[in-house]
Amino acid sequence: MKVLIVNTSERTGGAAVAANRLMMALNNNGVKAKMLVRDREVLPASGLAGRNDTLTVVGLPQSPLLRWHFLWERLVIFVRLHFQRKHLFELDIANTGTDITRLREFREADIIHLHWINQGMLSLSDIRKILRSGKPVVWTMHDIWPATAICHLTLGCRNFTTQCRRCKYLPGGGSNNDLSASIWKKKQQMVADENVYYVACSRWLESEAKASALLRGQKITSIPNPIDTHIYKKGDKQEARKRLGLPPDRQLILFASQRVTNRNKGMDYLIEACRQLHAKGVAPSVVILGGHAEEVVDQLPLEAYPLGYINDEQRIVDIYHAVDVFVLPSLSENLPNTIMEAMACGVPCIGFRVGGIPEEIDHKRNGYVAEYRNAGDLAEGIRWILTEADYEELSRNAIQKVARNYSQQSVAIKYLDIYQQAMAFKHYKL
């Protein structure tokens, strides 16, 4: 069986990380999996972060149009936002992209496995061509976009359960015939009379997708992202701190995000939680991993170590080894890779009761699930783990949860079953 995994980026973003890990998991379990990306990174051949093989990762044919596709889509959205940058990268309309059905990798594949294909990778018409190619198609949902018109985060909006329109992201709240309404109709035409096997990365997202009027009648299930537990595993805390230049005698909490200043990642709630901890005499240090980390240091009442954006996998593993607790106060999440990584390294985690986070964190068993948007409960979770809980038991439970649910082999087996179902159904229709 040959599987072609399609994703915009090879390594940037959670979906890229998950797609890469799935490709490795499949190849380690007897499937010939290859990844097709627009943004391919050529990395050193040595080191964990440099395992880039031309036989398994291929980029789109280089053309000036690749950059233009991205810019043209952003320009159209920018105009519809009345030239305001707010929400510019929270919406996608897939009005331009690359036809991949002509590529050799596509022709050779038995299964086409779509992942995050936005920002100029594939247009709606490109996806329609893929669906009409006769090849079985599996689509892993890393967010809600495949089930809505234009947004990646619904943030409480339920219009997608009937029809997207009057979009809250658009100026003035949109209208009955706004951009979301027109893209909704195009998406309806795209999937009409076609069968796609949708796979959500969490049970929460599965339930959201099943509520979508756009995907009514489609096959929808959930399979978590895989993780390599040979890489992400418990390590020596003091040695890791020495390598990173972090204090050996302080309790450390970690916050990580691709862009720390993204309000949806909840840094404001962590700042408030730290203020409350400081007032109660609990004073751990904060390690901040991600772009623009230095911009939030002055807002924290606790000692902070901004590490910036890091792309080296071994260094990221070192960071997990070095810290005592991982905090992700996101306002919307699917099934965060970062929580899975931290747990695999034996680090108890804290997050809000939202999205797929409660599926990963078992409250007071391997971490702490705080009430949504409640900085006080977030602070209580940090205090409980650092000063009251049986830390070693939490750590053991976290490692066991990952091994049982998110290992490469367990996830690969589940996807193999989906692939076989998709191929059998296509054969039946033919």
- In the three-class reduction of DSSP (H, G, I as helix; E, B as strand; rest coil), residue 274 is classed as helix
Going from the C-alpha of 232 to that of each of 57, 224, 239, 241, 340, the distances in angstroms are 22, 16, 16, 17, 9
Give the residue, 320 or 63, on which the prediction is more confident.
320
In the structure, what pLDDT confidence band is assigned to residue 64 with cuts at 50, 70 and 90?
A: confident
pTM of the model: 0.89
Q: Residue 16 burial (CB < 10 Å; 0-12/13-18/19+)?
A: buried
**pLDDT > 50? residue 60:** yes
- Amino acid at site 344: A
CA–CA gap between residue 82 and residue 80 (Å, rounded): 5
Mean pLDDT value across residues 20-38? 95
Which phi and psi (to 5°) does residue 189 adopt? -65, -35
Average per-residue pLDDT in the chain? Answer: 93
Share of the chain above pLDDT 90, in %: 89
Which phi and psi (to 5°) does residue 91 adopt? -125, 150
Mean pLDDT value across residues 386-412? 96
DSSP 8-state assignment for residue 415: H
pLDDT confidence of residue 41:
81
Mean pLDDT value across residues 263-290? 95
pLDDT confidence of residue 46:
42
CA–CA gap between residue 130 and residue 385 (Å, rounded): 49
- Quote the strand ranges of 238-396, DSSP E: 252-259, 285-291, 304-308, 325-328, 349-352, 367-370
Note the pLDDT tens digit of each residue in 185-211. 999 999 998 889 999 999 999 999 999
Mean pLDDT value across residues 36-56? 65
CA–CA gap between residue 62 and residue 325 (Å, rounded): 43
Which tokens is 279 given? Answer: 């007032």
pLDDT confidence of residue 48:
43
**For the chain, what is the radius of gyration of the CA atoms?**
22
**pLDDT > 60? residue 178:** yes
Mean pLDDT value across residues 100-109? 97
**pLDDT > 90? residue 47:** no
In the structure, what pLDDT confidence band is assigned to residue 42 with cuts at 50, 70 and 90?
A: low
In the structure, what pLDDT confidence band is assigned to residue 49 with cuts at 50, 70 and 90?
A: very low
Mean pLDDT value across residues 147-152? 98
Helix%, strand%, coil% for the chain, nearest 5: 40, 15, 40
* Residue of 138, 86, 141, 102 lying closest to 118 (CA atoms): 141
Q: Name the most confidently modeled range: 59-68, 304-313, 389-398.
A: 389-398
In the structure, what pLDDT confidence band is assigned to residue 50 with cuts at 50, 70 and 90?
A: very low
pLDDT confidence of residue 427:
55
**pLDDT > 90? residue 175:** yes
In the structure, what pLDDT confidence band is assigned to residue 294 with cuts at 50, 70 and 90?
A: very high
